[in-house]
Structure 1
């Protein structure tokens, strides 16, 4: 009897050890409720991020007969208005080669930044009801705002490229790389500023008004309505260097380099455009890190202040 019972006892002991090990493994995988890894957690839950982006994009065109066609109509109308009102009436078509393309490509970059930055600043307040009811990485809302702005900018980029192709633009690896780098700079910069001002805006709603001023100034602080040569002629060299260090200026000029520069026989890119493009990318990454740090520090007050 003893000999027969021993194996059963051993088997039961081994089974208990296995169950205990499984429970220990489960305990190790459990995390503190409300804890997350910031931006890494946002992209780990990318399915939820995609749902938020898809919902907001669908809401934008809900009840619209033409839907996405409006995204292409607007830049086309802008091109015609720029060509006639500014190019013909004000004579800029004679002073700047392919001025409507130059202007529309610059506005495309600035519009992407302004929409991503402004919506990112408001994103937490706009989703206050959701934030107070359930837990999810709160960084998801400013990042979703940037991605929604990117989706809305795609049609305008397509229109700019289509018009440039019509006028003889021939894409190259350098031009496509410049366009991609410009969009990455804006995406990272807008995300960082959206995190920073969005977290402050929860407690101090004045931040939103301050952002509106930044957005208003952004289009004039970069070579969108004018060429960089006009700035270089009237400001000291040190101030022109600061002007080029503006990440939006670098992004706009990179986009010009990609789309407009090959078309203009008299066009010249801003000096050291690739160097300042890389500096702008580093500056944008620093802004993203600072925005994340401030966001995490203020996150604990969101539910209370909302």
Structure 2
């Protein structure tokens, strides 16, 4: 094929031209390789391996249950507090791991970014896949515990779980693309993410019921609080696993509506993160 013919060929694209997240669908094999690498190297050389993922989760659970549940007495006001707490912890752990992994995705793969061209979004998306592989077994453990207690499933619960899962993934990926791009040029971005993760557990109803916020805050602040995508996801997961086991518990108002609005906020965050990522990706190799 001649040079001029190649330029007019509809299948021809300029090398290095990015189409953002859409490129992921055209490089599925590369994505699978990066995902396997991310999962395989996470606990490489560790004696316990994947068990550390459960050890960390159980350690967090015991710490919060002993201090917040027993010492501060929250377990007396929240029936089945261990289930309530575990729902919140797996939500925050998923958000934290996705955001942390995506923020470091480019810098952790600096050798590949500097040597060859491939869609840079592959790295944060592979980091999301790695986080999901650790979330699903934790969710399965919670599911088994709830079934043992007497939990039953409905189609609305399945819809609430899927909605919450998509909200937290999209929101964390959007933030990760934004801070991941900034982190290449300005390593302070990593510290900003650390602050966000430090507040994530306490700014959502993980260790306490959302009614406590409603009782002390003006209504407009409470509404903003409930539209936080991490808060909305936490309450959706409570609705899936905890509320069916506690029939007398109060269900937050407009739960699914809040989830849909939170999804809209997450999508806006994803668009902003993608635009920032695409604007800065041309300088990644230079800074790395």
> Structure 2 stretches of 5 or more lacking a match?
none
- Pairs aligned (count): 286
2:267 equivalent to 1:301: no
Q: Is the 8 A contact 1:106 1:223 kept in 2?
A: yes
2:174 equivalent to 1:174: no
SS of residue in 2 equivalent to 1:262: helix
Greater RCO, 1 or 2 (C-alpha within 8 Å, sep 6+): 2
C-alpha separation between the residues in 2 aligned to 1:240 and 1:195? 28
Q: TM-score, normalised by structure 1?
A: 0.87
Cα displacement (A) at 1:92: 2.9
User: Paired residue for 2:208?
Assistant: 226
Q: Which has the higher mean CA deviation after the structures are superposed, 264-273 or 120-129?
A: 264-273
Q: Is the 8 A contact 2:236 2:255 kept in 1?
A: yes
C-alpha separation between the residues in 2 aligned to 1:258 and 1:238? 26
Q: Which has the higher mean CA deviation after the structures are superposed, 76-85 or 180-189?
A: 76-85
User: Paired residue for 2:141?
Assistant: 159
Cα displacement (A) at 1:94: 2.5
Structure 1 residue corresponding to 2:82, chosen from 100, 107, 116: 100
Cα displacement (A) at 1:241: 1.0
Cα displacement (A) at 1:75: 4.1
C-alpha separation between the residues in 1 aligned to 2:195 and 2:18? 33
C-alpha separation between the residues in 2 aligned to 1:39 and 1:195? 10
Q: Is the 8 A contact 1:41 1:137 kept in 2?
A: yes
User: Paired residue for 1:280?
Assistant: 262
Cα displacement (A) at 1:80: 5.4
Q: Is the 8 A contact 2:65 2:85 kept in 1?
A: no
Cα displacement (A) at 1:65: 4.7
Structure 2 residue corresponding to 1:247, chosen from 229, 249, 252: 229
Q: Which has the higher mean CA deviation after the structures are superposed, 111-120 or 55-64?
A: 55-64
User: Paired residue for 1:187?
Assistant: 169
Q: Is the 8 A contact 2:229 2:266 kept in 1?
A: yes
CA-to-partner distance for each residue in 1:94-131, whole Å, 9 max, x for gaps? 22111011011101001100111011111111111110
- Give the aligned CA root-mean-square deviation in angstroms: 2.1
